[in-house]
Structure 1
Amino acid sequence: MHGRKGRKGRNVRTSFRALAVVAALGLSAATPALARSAGEPATAKDSTSAGEPASAGAPGDIVSSEPRSFHPLPGQPTNTKAWKINYRSTTAKGEPNTVSGTVIVPQDGKKGPRPLITYAVGTVGVGDRCAPSAGFPKGTTMEANLIQQLTLRGWAVAVTDYEGLGTPGDHTYTVGRAEGQAMLDAARAAIRLPEAGQAGLSKDSPVGIMGYSQGGQASSWAAELHGSYAPDLNVKGTATGGVPGDLMKVAKFNDGSYGSGLVFMAAIGQNAAFPELKLDSYLNARGKDLVGKLKESCVIDGSIGGAFTKISDVTTKNPLEQPDWQQRLRESQVGTHAPDAPVYQYHVITDELIPYAVGKQVRDDWCAKGANVEWHTVPVGEHVSGVITQSPLAANWLAERFAGKSASGNCQ
């Protein structure tokens, strides 16, 4: 574990890492998540989810849309049009829900089948104000500069807010199946948006899946679910990095360290998706206070507020030692199902939040199942820098897939 050499040293490191997160996109560790195995298809059931009545709408159907603007930085112009959308998706339990997101399309005059990236951001927090769609008009959304690099290539981008982030209910932070389905349905919604269709999006558009950290979990789940959940999408490949494939190992690694605030954010997400886990029954007074604050927090204040706090400090009993929580964690394992399209996967060898061995295990599991994986070890850097340095390379790889070039994996 990191950062236990005295209070002063811990505070310095916490402040440094907090500034690094803010300055370099705010990506953070994924921690315990809950979902079914990726090989098991979800089914929509008649129910009420996220505060809205279920309807007969299919996953990916648009509930509402309105014009918005996309700014990577405050006031920075882009030659794009954007729409805030609410669209149908599916919870980790297979129930219909509504998720929000943003569709961004370059205004370059192209009319043919335009490539589409469905993009999952890294951790932004669990408060509704932290949703990517809330920050795009103001130029405050983390990773917006990376998204702009995609639109400059002439690609449309659909960015999910994830379940419960900007819509009623708590954000199901790091719930893998819900994330993957939200990504795939965001792509469906973008294709079904009439205004985007006028700018070249169609059912024939080649689709790329892209994400890092929490977004790496989401994009990996989307890759695994594509064949069973959204085979109608013309997915050409997935670029994913910093993947938290074994969530129990990631949680133990961060417990009591500078990433521990993210463990508690994930507990909120687990409880949101699976209220029968009864998170509140495990919390002591300090834990209830912390969780209450985290529900209103974005990544930077949440990370600082929970840093160096052990699970045992805020609970009367560790939920991660209980069979029902452990079962949900096992169900969320990444690597149980081979993606049906090629994958570009990368991980920083010195990643201080998501252990390198955890990401590499995903690669090994996919390769063992016959997936086409191009694996890259990033020899220099840390967690946040990984996506900054690798995003252009990942985009180049996706461009080759869009161009119809075959992918040469390196499993052997």
Structure 2
Amino acid sequence: AAAPAAPAAPAAPATADSPGDIVSSEPSSFHPLPHQPTDTKAWKIHYRSTTAKGEPNTVSGTVIVPQDGRKGPRPLITYAVGTVGVADRCAPSAGFPKGTTLEGNLIQQLTLRGWAVAVTDYEGLGTPGDHTYTVGRAEGQAMLDAARAAIRLPEAGLGKDTPVGIMGYSQGGQASSWAAELHGTYAPELDVKGTATGGVPGDLLKVAKFNDGLYGSGLIFMAAIGQDAAFPELRLDSYLNDKGRKLIGALRDSCVADGSVLGSFKTIASMTTKNPLEQPDWKQRLTESRVGGARPDAPVYQYHAFADELIPYAVGTKVRADWCARGANVEWHTVPVGDHVSAVMTQSPYAAQWLAERFAGKEARGNC
């Protein structure tokens, strides 16, 4: 992450040649909560990936492998976390050794099944430059390349025949949905068995309009940082008034808890001299991150809380409708009780069980 006043620095050029190649690795550790032991080994990795513009970059992440004595191939989940913030210290890899990564307990559900897990930090979160938050293509590519990197990490003991599952919720739902759509063209050699995705922000313009001035409005301003990081020609700073510049500067150094409070109940109009979301170039870039434009080539388990207060339910059902219209195999679940955050906690065990059935070779029936 860049200092607030400085332009985003480009990510360091990778010395590795192909997407998914390991640039560096070092031992780490995985603790779902502070000091909570797990029977796992973990490595922090830097690996080659690709920006939304198709240029090589380096992304960090974590590979976690259960130490259960299992011989032979074990499944691998490439896992994308929900919004953590845009400051480098918010990266999942920074929190795992301390037990402060928000979804640590959800990830432990996977390692207890004997599955290896690769968790991307996403572009710019723990590496130079601003985090490209909400830029779907960059997130999806970082997820697929995290799986490649885990398979190429000798210590992990995985092989080219490793069955792969894709999993994520919220921002991770956008990332996992993009990974599902990109798999066939970007990383077809990965043996992807299925994708479990939820709370998908499939249409960023609709999500922004829904949250403007409300509890979740901080997410809009974080998304503006992310889009501007991927596409500096959008010139976010040229739209900000003094209040907006102060807020964006504070958000660049915030994680999700404080960032959400800083940005909540603020309108786009109160922070800008004119609304970037009404400009053709911003509209175009946000539209490029829509989910539903391509058919996932492996089955999908998708869920969304009916009363989601951050990502409208109708945005999730539109993703389902678009995928179904393209002939995808989608098993849809409405979460009838709860909100955005509670849905991932109640549904993760079902999503993991659905992936277990895919790894076991059972047919995915879908309910389009």
TM-score category of the 2 structures, normalised to the smaller one: over 0.9
User: 1:121 maps to which residue?
Assistant: 81
User: 1:381 maps to which residue?
Assistant: 338
Structure 1 residue 237, shift from structure 2 partner: 0.1
User: 1:400 maps to which residue?
Assistant: 357
Counterpart Cα distance in 2 of 1:239 and 1:100: 22
Deviating above 3 A after TM superposition, structure 1's stretches of 4 or more consecutive aligned residues are none
Segments of 5+ residues of structure 2 without an aligned counterpart are 1-8
**Is 2:183 the partner of 1:223?**
no
Structure 1 residue 320, shift from structure 2 partner: 0.3
Amino acid of the structure 1 residue aligned with 2:273: T
Q: 2:94 aligns with which of 134, 137, 151?
A: 134
Residue deviations 1:305-363 (CA, integer Å, cap 9, x gap): 01100000010010000000111112111000010000000000000000000000000
**Is 2:207 the partner of 1:250?**
yes
8 Å CA contact 2:14–2:48 kept in 1: the answer is no
8 Å CA contact 1:50–1:167 kept in 2: the answer is no
User: 2:3 maps to which residue?
Assistant: none
**Is 2:265 the partner of 1:305?**
no
Counterpart Cα distance in 1 of 2:343 and 2:48: 32
User: 1:65 maps to which residue?
Assistant: 25
**Is 2:108 the partner of 1:148?**
yes
8 Å CA contact 2:16–2:23 kept in 1: the answer is no
Change beyond 3 A, Cα 1:382–1:195 = same
Residue deviations 1:350-391 (CA, integer Å, cap 9, x gap): 000000000000000000000000000110000000000000
> What value does the CA root-mean-square deviation take over the aligned residues?
1.0
**Is 2:144 the partner of 1:178?**
no
Structure 1 residue 51, shift from structure 2 partner: 3.7
Bigger relative contact order, structure 1 or 2, given CA contacts below 8 A and separation 6+? 1
8 Å CA contact 2:28–2:44 kept in 1: the answer is yes
8 Å CA contact 2:13–2:56 kept in 1: the answer is no
User: 1:74 maps to which residue?
Assistant: 34
Counterpart Cα distance in 2 of 1:57 and 1:368: 37
TM-score by length of 1: 0.87
Amino acid of the structure 2 residue aligned with 1:113: P
Residue deviations 1:157-195 (CA, integer Å, cap 9, x gap): 000000000000000001000000000000000000000
Counterpart Cα distance in 2 of 1:81 and 1:50: 31
Amino acid of the structure 2 residue aligned with 1:158: A
8 Å CA contact 1:181–1:229 kept in 2: the answer is yes
Amino acid of the structure 2 residue aligned with 1:135: G
User: 1:34 maps to which residue?
Assistant: none
Structure 1 residue 118, shift from structure 2 partner: 0.2
Structure 1 residue 54, shift from structure 2 partner: 4.4
Structure 1 residue 406, shift from structure 2 partner: 0.7
Identity %: 83
Segments of 5+ residues of structure 1 without an aligned counterpart are 1-48
Q: 1:112 aligns with which of 44, 69, 72?
A: 72
- Report matched runs for 1:91-106 at 5 Å: 91-106=51-66
Counterpart Cα distance in 2 of 1:114 and 1:351: 35
Amino acid of the structure 1 residue aligned with 2:74: R
Structure 1 residue 56, shift from structure 2 partner: 5.4
Change beyond 3 A, Cα 1:220–1:85 = same
